[in-house]
Amino acid sequence: MNHKIVAILPAALLALLLSTLFPANAWAFDRSGSITTMVLILGLGSFTLLNLISQFAFYLSGFYRSARFARRHVILSLLPVAAAVLFVILNAQHFGGLMMDMGLVLVALALALLPLLVADKPAPERPWVSLLAAALMLAAGFVVAPITAFALILAHVSLNYLKGHSRFGALLIIAIGYPFLGVYLYQFIGKLG
């Protein structure tokens, strides 16, 4: 071990201990711009989580073997990310908050582009996986109603790939999901007006 470092170490520790005795102002948090961050975490974060579940279901179902399907999914996934970029730029309070919010948007952008990595890769055809994910999302939608929209999307996509009696499950999810989502939107719009 270097003897110069060993000689300096006690003095550095003493200086560190003495500096903790004096009070200092806490400038670590500035509330301006925190509403933007909160909206991003709740809105874009929730969308990204549900989109990841959809991506996982689509991959396990084998839908990403079609590069066209993967590109369409990515384009639709980028719309909320683009809206979030616009929201962040319009509501920027200061540079630090802008960079933190853009970092959150960048993570959502990277996760939205995931289907392009697995497009054209071999995967088994199991369309029932997306139907199962739609049923689970519909069940979760009874607790948090906007999740029902993702259940409907999954059911519509799986309806195109299912054959025989299994199409009945997708039609049942669609028949239950649309009225439920309609009642939620009616109540939500009624609270706004």
| C-beta separation of 63 from 131 below 8 A | no
CA–CA distance, 64 with 61 (Å, rounded to integer):
8
On whether residue 48 sits in a domain, the answer given is yes
Same domain as 114, residue 35: yes
Residue with tokens 């959502």: 108
Asked if 118 and 35 sit in the same domain, the reply is: yes
Number of domains making up the chain = 2
Q: Specify whether the CB–CB gap between 148 and 184 falls below 8 A.
A: yes
User: End of a domain among 71, 106, 123?
Assistant: 123
Residues 140 and 169 in one domain: yes
- How many residues does this entry show for the chain? 193
User: What pLDDT score was predicted for residue 93?
Assistant: 81
Q: Is 13 exposed, middle or buried (0-12, 13-18, 19+ CB in 10 A)?
A: exposed
**Domain region containing 190:** 126-193
How many Cα atoms are found within 13 Å in the side-chain-facing hemisphere of 131? 19
Q: Kindly give the confidence (pLDDT) of every residue in the chain, 193 residues in length, as a single tens digit, with 9 standing for 90 and above.
A: 555 555 666 766 677 666 666 665 555 555 666 788 888 889 999 999 999 999 999 999 989 888 899 999 999 999 999 999 999 999 888 887 888 889 999 999 999 999 999 888 777 788 889 999 999 999 999 999 999 999 999 999 998 888 888 889 999 999 999 999 999 999 999 988 7
66 and 112: one domain?
yes
Q: Which residue has the tokens 């200061």?
A: 94
Measure the CA–CA gap between 127 and 18, rounded to whole angstroms.
Answer: 65
Q: Which of 83, 81, 181, 169 is nearest to 133 (CA)?
A: 169
